[in-house]
Amino acid sequence: MTKRLIGATALMMAAAGPALAHTGVGSVEGLSHGLMHPLTGLDHVLAMVAVGLWAGLVGGKARIAYPVAFVGTMVLAGLWAMAGGQLPGVEIGIAASVVILGLAIALNLSPPLAAGTLACGLFAIFHGFAHGAELPENASGASYAIGFVIATALLHGVGLLLAGQLAARAPVLARVAGGGLVLAGMAILAG
């Protein structure tokens, strides 16, 4: 399933380039900035890979529900930020999401589907708001959002792939990775 998700995402990225090339610089700039924003912040990368990792380790419907809840809520929060909304404590919320996701992985938590999905959606509020608040001045908001959605989905896919490898070959390493996420999140909070 994850290979199909990654393949579909890559196909969408390839198809999007030529279509956006004729709509103006703002669209191309928006897409490229949107693609890069989640990839250039360690806090975003860790949290988004952690969502996929946790979803994959929990398994079942969580493999789809957690990433979909994250991406869907992230888009709404990003649009809210682009519209001038306010959200205090964004950086703290982002770092806390890394800590909490790390704990969930380290402790091998497998909550009811609704609870895990809700948690992922709540974390996405902070990440989405941060993405939307950093929309470049001359960029297309729609293209920018498409970019950060694609990058986020790819990072979730990386986490899902890691979960598949770790669950099958070295389940203890998944818990160690969770502990590493906790430490990284605490370092981000302290910084």
- Give the model's confidence band at 3: pLDDT under 50 very low, under 70 low, under 90 confident, else very high: low
Say if CB 124 and CB 77 are below 8 A apart.
Answer: yes
Q: How many domains does the chain have?
A: 1
Identify the domain containing residue 76 by its residue range. Answer: 2-190
- Predicted local confidence at residue 94, as pLDDT: 97
Query: Tell me: the pLDDT tens digits for 29-75?
Result: 789 888 998 898 999 999 999 999 999 999 999 999 999 999 999 99
Residue entry with tokens 């649009």: 79
Q: How far apart are the first and last CA of the chain?
A: 38
Please report, as a single letter, which amino acid is at residue 162.
L
What percentage of residues in the chain have a pLDDT greater than 70? 85
182 half-sphere exposure, CB direction, 13 A CA radius = 13
Measured at the CA of 64, the angle between CA 58 and CA 65, to 5 degrees, comes to: 80
pLDDT band per the 50, 70, 90 thresholds, residue 168: confident
At 78-122, the pLDDT tens digits run: 999 999 999 999 999 999 999 999 999 999 999 999 999 999 999
Find out whether 93 and 41 touch, Cβ atoms under 8 Å: no
Query: Which residues touch 114 (CB under 8 Å, ≥6 apart)?
Result: none
Q: Report the pLDDT value the prediction gives residue 191, as an integer from 0 to 100.
A: 86
pLDDT-based confidence at residue 4 (cuts at 50, 70, 90): low
Q: Please indicate whether residue 6 or residue 154 has the higher confidence score (pLDDT).
A: 154
pLDDT at 14 over 70: no
Please enumerate in sequence order all residues whose Cβ is within 8 A of that of 190, keeping only pairs 6 or more positions apart, or say none: none
What is the enclosing helix (H) or strand (E) of 27? helix 25-36
The torsion angles phi and psi of 55, rounded to 5 degrees, stand at -60, -45
Supply 122's token pair: 């709540």
* Average pLDDT over the chain, rounded to an integer: 88
pLDDT score at 177: 96
